[in-house]
Amino acid sequence: MRAPAVLRHPLFLGCALIYGSYQLNKRWLHWSLPAWLTSYLSDVLCLPIILSLALAAHQLVYDRRAMLPGTWVLAAWGIVVLWFEGVLPLWSATAVADPVDVLAYAVGALIFQQWLNKPA
């Protein structure tokens, strides 16, 4: 069985490769990277990766031509923002609320909606 088209899309593969490389560097390589990149890269890549996986599952279960409704993308953005910028900083000493993260998540949601949220 072939992987859903969204998981073979060059933009999704690029996001996953960049995120994986970033995590490899963060955990083991420890190369110095610009502060803006370490602060916002994973936030921008978060929703394109998560929503692409959700779209692939949706297409496998329901219909290859299915797309995620815009309200689902907006809801995913809202849930991620609420959790990571609202709730988590109250419980974790290492989590910090940052208004720019909200914009970074929005950029990721727009990337998904514009280029990845397509029928197979």
Q: Give helix 35-61 / helix 10-24 axis angle, nearest 10°.
A: 130
What pLDDT digit, counting tens, does each position of 17-65 carry? 999 999 999 999 999 999 999 999 999 999 999 999 999 999 999 999 9
* Residue that has been written with the tokens 């083991």 in this structure: 28
To the nearest 10°, the Cα dihedral for 64, 69, 73, 75? -130
pLDDT at 83 over 70: yes
How many separate domains does the chain show?
1
Range of the domain at 93: 5-116
pLDDT at 118 over 70: yes
Q: Evaluate whether 117 touches 55 at the Cβ level (below 8 Å).
A: yes
Cα gap 66→118, rounded to integer Å: 8
Neighbours of 19 (CB within 10 A): 17
pTM over 0.75: yes
